[in-house]
Chain A
Amino acid sequence: QSALTQPASVSGSPGQSITISCTGTSSDIGIYNYVSWYQQHPGKTPRLILYDVGVRPSGISDRFSGSKSGNTASLTISGLQAEDEADYYCSSYRDDIPYVFGTGTTVTLL
Chain B
Amino acid sequence: QVQLQESGPGLVNPSETLSLTCAVSGASISSHYWNWVRQAPGKGLEWIAYRRHIGTTHGSPSFKSRIAMSVDTSTNQFSLTLTSVTAADTAIYFCARRPALGGTGLDHWGQGILVTVSS
Q: Hey, which bits of chain A sit against chain B, CB under 8 A?
A: 1, 3, 34, 36, 38, 45-48, 50-52, 55, 57, 89, 91, 93, 96-104
Contacts and interface: CB of A to CB of B under 8 A. Distances in A.
B107 interface: yes
B69 to A, nearest CB: 14
Contacts of B106: 36, 38, 46, 48, 99
Contacts of A98: 47, 50, 58, 98, 104
B44 A89 contact: yes
A98 B37 CA distance: 12
Interface residues of B, number: 23
B15 interface: no
Contacts of B44: 3, 89, 101-104
A104 B62 CA distance: 19
A36 B105 contact: yes
Main SS at interface, chain A: strand
Interface of B: 35, 37, 44-47, 50, 58, 60-62, 94, 96, 98, 103-107, 109-112
B45 A51 contact: no
A102 B109 CA distance: 18
26 contacts: A1-B62, A36-B103, A36-B106, A38-B106, A45-B109, A45-B112, A46-B106, A46-B109, A48-B107, A50-B105, A51-B103, A51-B104, A52-B104, A89-B44, A91-B45, A97-B47, A97-B61, A98-B47, A98-B58, A99-B37, A99-B47, A99-B106, A101-B45, A101-B47, A102-B44, A104-B45
